[in-house]
Structure 1
Amino acid sequence: MTAQPELQVFVCRLHRDKIALYEAIHDGMTPPHAANTRRGYDILDIYRLDDLLVMLTRRHAGPPVEPTEESKQQAARWHASLAECFAEPWRPAPIIFSLALAGGASTPDGAHGS
């Protein structure tokens, strides 16, 4: 059985006057860009509370998808369009608690937590 890729959590802050722009850019994501992004992720969700963003990601199991030159350029344009929105860069947020592992409970794959 192949291990499921790990869920990762990232946080960052937006400039308060750029929140609407950040959301508008995401609302305008084109179908080809969304499809290209889905090729690499099972989960990529972003939540916002005021100027704080929380992003959950989990990449597909197996070898990573090799990006095409077009997809690299598309990603570069996407990130450049968002750059002015960020007051702080994305940073990993390490897990501090998991109910799945608490008290020596079994994880979904049957292993016991430590």
Structure 2
Amino acid sequence: MASQSELLVYVCRLHRDKIALYEQIHDGMPPRHAEVTRLGYEVLDIYRLDDQLIMLSRRPAGPLPEATEESKAFAAKWHAALAECFAEPWKQADPIFSLATAGSATPQDTVAQP
């Protein structure tokens, strides 16, 4: 059985005057593009707080299906349409805490409490 891939978190900022456009583009995602995108992701969720976006993504373990020329062309148009919305590009956020592994440190790994 293949191991599950890692959940990744990305953050970026939108131009404030492009927030509505960014959401409109995503609301209008064509079904075929959504279907093709789902082939490459187990998780792809985007959240917004004011002008900041947070994206959670996880790709499936193993090789991804080969993209068709049609899907490559549509993806290029999709990303070009979104590009004008970004004030800052997507950046990967580093994990600093996970409850799943919290408390599993051995005593010599812990920091002394004052």
When the two structures are superposed, what TM-score results if normalisation uses the length of structure 1?
0.89
| Structure 2: gaps of 5 or more residues | 106-114
2:57 aligned with 1:57: yes
4+ residue segments displaced more than 6 Å: none
In structure 1, distance between residues paired with 2:9 and 2:88: 15
SS of the counterpart of 2:44?
strand
1:61 CA displacement: 2.0
1:79 CA displacement: 0.2
Aligned to 2:104: 104
SS of the counterpart of 1:89?
strand
In structure 2, distance between residues paired with 1:27 and 1:83: 16
In structure 2, distance between residues paired with 1:53 and 1:10: 8
SS of the counterpart of 1:88?
strand
| Structure 1: gaps of 5 or more residues | 106-114
Structure 2 letter corresponding to 1:96: I
**Superposed counterparts of 1:67-106, under 5 Å:** 67-104=67-104
Give me the identity figure in percent. 71
1:64 CA displacement: 1.5
In structure 2, distance between residues paired with 1:2 and 1:31: 29
Aligned to 1:9: 9
When the two structures are superposed, what TM-score results if normalisation uses the length of structure 2?
0.89
